[in-house]
Amino acid sequence: MVPLRSLTISPITQLTLALLVTLPTGGLGLCPDDWLEFNGSCYYGSNSNFSWHGARQICEEMQWGAHLTSIATEDENAFINSQFGHLQPWIGLNDMDTEGDWKWANGESLVYTNWDAGQPDNTDCDCAYIWKTEGGTWDDTYCNVAFHFVCELTAL
């Protein structure tokens, strides 16, 4: 082990360490190019349509720990809807394992929902998307339908 007195640290390293020590718990709020930051997460809206499974795979292959978005609060839903709702995008919610038992694809707990009136209503429709821009309400549909999608990752 090197004694601390004999360790030389460059000014840039000192600045980096000082920044890391003083960071807020949410990090710097940095997102990759073309991603939008909101409350410590980064969001990306696709330019193309894919099935729910295709969208999930694309998000997960983007690196950085991305996934189809999960929505935990009304504020988060409002943000996603304001930025991407016009696309009617896939979100990560599904009931593929057990009909009526809706879960986020990334394993987060389902603590908030914003289903449109009478939704979810389809027995074989296992995937959710933002259906109406007014209110950002959700609907369930068949997972093989091609929609835009929103990926999410934790901001740096």
Q: Is 101 helix (H, G, I), strand (E, B) or coil?
A: coil
Categorize the per-residue pLDDT at 18 as very low, low, confident or very high, splitting at 50, 70 and 90.
very low
Share of the chain above pLDDT 90, in %: 76
Q: Which residues contact 53 (CB under 8 A, 6 or more apart)?
A: 143, 144
Mean pLDDT of 114-122: 94
Judge if pTM exceeds 0.85: no
Domain ranges of the chain: 36-154
In whole angstroms, give the CA distance from residue 155 to residue 30: 5
8 A C-beta contact, residue 71 and residue 91: yes
**So what's the pLDDT on residue 19?**
33
What percent of the chain clears pLDDT 70, i.e. is strictly above it? Answer: 82
Q: How far apart are CA 49 and CA 11, in angstroms?
A: 48
* Average pLDDT score over residue span 128-153: 96
Topology (CATH) of 36-154: Mannose-Binding Protein A; Chain A (3.10.100)
User: How much is the mean pLDDT over the chain?
Assistant: 86
Residue 155 to residues 36, 40, 85, Cα–Cα distance (Å): 10, 5, 21
Backbone angles phi, psi at 78, to 5 degrees: -65, -40
pLDDT band at 92 (very low <50, low <70, confident <90, very high): very high
Give the tens place of pLDDT for each residue, 24-73.
444 577 999 999 999 999 999 999 999 999 999 999 999 889 999 999 99
